[in-house]
Amino acid sequence: MPTEKTDGLSGEIRTLKEKRKAVILSHFYQRPEIQEVADFVGDSLELSRKAAATDAEVIVFCGVHFMAESAAILSPDKVVLLPEKNAGCPMADMVDAEALRAAKSRTPGAVVVCYVNTSAVVKAESDIACTSANAVKVVNSIPGDKPILFIPDKNLGRYVAGKTARNNMTVWEGFCNTHHKLTRSDVLKVKAKHPEALVLVHPECRPEVADLADAVASTSGMLKFAGESPAREFIVCTETGILHQFRKRYPGKEFYPASNKLCCPNMKATTLEKVRRALATLEPRITVPPDVREKALKSLERMLAIK
Ligand code: 13P
Ligand code: SF4
C-alpha cells in the first residue's frame, strides 16, 4: 500500500536517479514498493540481459549479491550498487571455489553448468551459467556424451536432468532455503480450498512439490503461463514477492500463495530508504577483481549466447 512516506521516498529516488544517470533493476521477489520504483522488473535472466545492455552510468540492483556481481561482470565500466550489502543467497553460499575444484578433479572431463545463483569466483571455475528460465536449453546445448556437473541447486538440477533425459549429470547437494521449506501438504491444503486453481511451481521446489504442478517454470515463465491460460485461479509456489506482479498484470484473476513460508529474507532486505541512500552515496558498490571477472564473464556470455 503506498503511503505518504513511501510516495515521498519514491519521489526522492526518481530525482536522484536522474541526477546519477542510474537505472534501477528489481527482481520479482522484491517488496512491491521497490518493484514500483524500478525501471525494470524481471527474472534473473532478464535482469542479466538488461545489465549487459544498459547505457546508464549506475546500476542499482535490487536483488541479492550474486545478481549485482553478475551485473558488475557484464558491465565493468558501470557503478553497480547493492542497496543492502548483506543481501546474500544462502544457496549460492553452498558451493565455493575450493569445493568445486575438488569435485572437478573427481569428475574429469565434466562440463560445469553453474546456476546463476553462484558467486563470481565459482562462475570463474565453471564452463557455462544458466538460470531457471534457460537451464534446459543450456544443458541441451552440451553434447550428450559429455558428463555434466550441475551446481549448486539439486532440485533444479534433478528437474533439468529429467527434462533433458540426461543420465550423465552429477548434481550438487545445494538448495534454496526458502523454496525447500514448501511441502506437498502445504500445497494440498491450499488446493483443497481452491480446487479449480492451477498450481505453478518454481523448479527450486522439492520434486514432490513439482509433481503437483500444472506448470513448472521460472518466475517469468509462471507470469507468462498465467497470462496465456484460460484458468482464473492459480496457486503460486515461489517467493511471495511475485504476487505483486501477478495481481498487477492480471487483475481479473486470483493468485494464492502456496504458503506464507515462501518469503526470502535476503530479497526483502532492500527497502526504499536503502535505495535512496545508495543513490545519494553511491555505496555499497559491488566490484569483481579483473582476473575473476574475465573468467566468470565467459560462463555468462556462453549462457547469454543461447537464445
Ligand atoms: P528466477 O527469477 O530466475 O526464476 O530465479 C529465482 C531465484 O530464486 C532468484 O534468486
Ligand atoms: Fe537465494 Fe532462494 Fe532467496 Fe533466491 S529465493 S535469493 S535462491 S535464498
Best mutation site among 25, 41, 43, 94 for ligand 1 pocket (most ligand atoms within 8 Å of CB): 43
Per-residue 3-state assignment (H helix, E strand, C coil) for 221-234: HHHHHHHHCCCCEE
Between the CA of 19 and the centroid of ligand 1 the distance, in Å, is 30
Domain boundary (145, 161, 176) is at 176
Q: What is the pLDDT of residue 3?
A: 80
Residue 273, in any domain of the structure: yes
Whether residues 35 and 76 share a domain: the answer is: yes
* Closest to 287 in 3D by CA, of 113, 75, 7, 144: 75
Tell whether ligand 1 has an atom less than 6 A from the beta carbon of residue 178.
Answer: no
193 part of a folded domain? yes
Mean pLDDT of the 230-243 span: 98
**Same domain assignment for residues 23 and 83:** yes
C-alpha grid cell, residue 58:
549506475
Nearest ligand 1 atom, CA 64: 10
Q: Is residue 297 part of a domain?
A: no
For residue 66, give the amino acid letter: F
Taking the centre of ligand 1 as the mean of its atom positions, its distance from the CA of residue 204, in whole angstroms, is: 8
Together in a domain, 106 and 82:
no
Residues 112-171 have pLDDT tens digits of 999 999 999 999 999 999 999 999 999 999 999 999 999 999 999 999 999 999 999 999
Cα–Cα distance, 70 to 55 (Å, whole number): 16
Residue 74, domain member (yes or no): yes
Q: Quick one: 117 and 99 in the same domain?
A: yes
306 in any annotated domain: no
274 and 249 inside one domain:
no
Same domain? 10 vs 85 = yes
Give CA–CA dist 189/207, Å, rounded. Answer: 18
Judged by DSSP in three states, 99 sits in helix
Instruction: State how many domains the chain has.
Output: 3
Neighbour tally for 157: CB within 10 Å: 26
Average pLDDT over residues 220-231: 98
* DSSP conformational letter for 197: P
Percent of the chain, pLDDT > 90? 95
Q: Which of 149, 176, 203 is the last residue of a domain?
A: 176
Shared domain check, 244 and 284? no
- Residue 5: pLDDT band with limits 50, 70, 90: confident
Higher-pLDDT residue of 7, 196: 196
The pLDDT of residue 44: 87
DSSP letter string over 256-285?
EES-TT---TTGGG--HHHHHHHHHHT-SB
Report residue 30: phi and psi, to 5°: -75, 165
**Are 139 and 171 in contact, with CB atoms under 8 Å apart?**
no
pLDDT in tens, 43-100: 988 998 899 899 999 999 999 999 999 999 999 999 999 999 999 999 999 999 999 9
- Which of 117, 89, 112 minimizes the C-alpha distance to 99? 112
Tell me how far apart the alpha carbons of residues 215 and 198 are, in angstroms, rounded to a whole number.
8
Are 31 and 70 in a shared domain? yes
Domain assignment of residue 296, yes or no: no
- The pTM of this model reads 0.95
Residue 307 has pLDDT above 90, yes or no: no
Atom of ligand 2 nearest to the CA of 89: 1
Tell me, yes or no, whether 25 lies in a domain.
yes
pLDDT higher than threshold 80 for residue 212: yes
Using CA of residue 34, residue 239, residue 119, residue 43, what is the dihedral sign? Answer: negative
> In angstroms, what is the span from residue 278 Cα to ligand 2's centroid?
22
Could you tell me if 8 and 83 lie in one domain? yes
Write out the three cell numbers for 54.
544498459
pLDDT score recorded for residue 48: 87
Q: Whose CA is nearest to atom 6 of ligand 2?
A: 89
Indicate which atom in ligand 2 lies nearest the CA of residue 90: 8
Band of residue 7 on the pLDDT scale cut at 50, 70, 90: confident
- Are 203 and 159 in contact by the 8 Å Cβ rule? The answer is yes
Ligand 2 center–CA 232 separation, angstroms: 28
Which of 50, 117, 153 for a ligand 1 pocket mutation test, highest count of atoms within 8 Å of Cβ?
117
24-to-95, 119, 248 alpha-carbon distances in Å:
29, 21, 19
Place of cell 565467459: 298
CATH (domain of 227): 3.40.50.10800
Return d(Cα 158, Cα 174) in angstroms, integer: 11
Same domain, 52 and 9: yes
Structural domain boundaries, residue 132: 92-176
Is the beta carbon of 259 within 6 A of some atom in ligand 1? no
Residues 184 and 172 in one domain: no
Whole-angstrom distance, CA of residue 85 vs CA of residue 51: 18
Tell me, yes or no, whether 80 lies in a domain: yes
Q: Are residues 172 and 99 in the same domain?
A: yes
- pLDDT tens-digit profile of 11-45? 999 999 999 999 999 999 999 999 999 999 999 88
> Who contacts 299 (Cβ-Cβ below 8 Å, separation ≥6)?
114, 123, 124, 126, 127, 128, 129
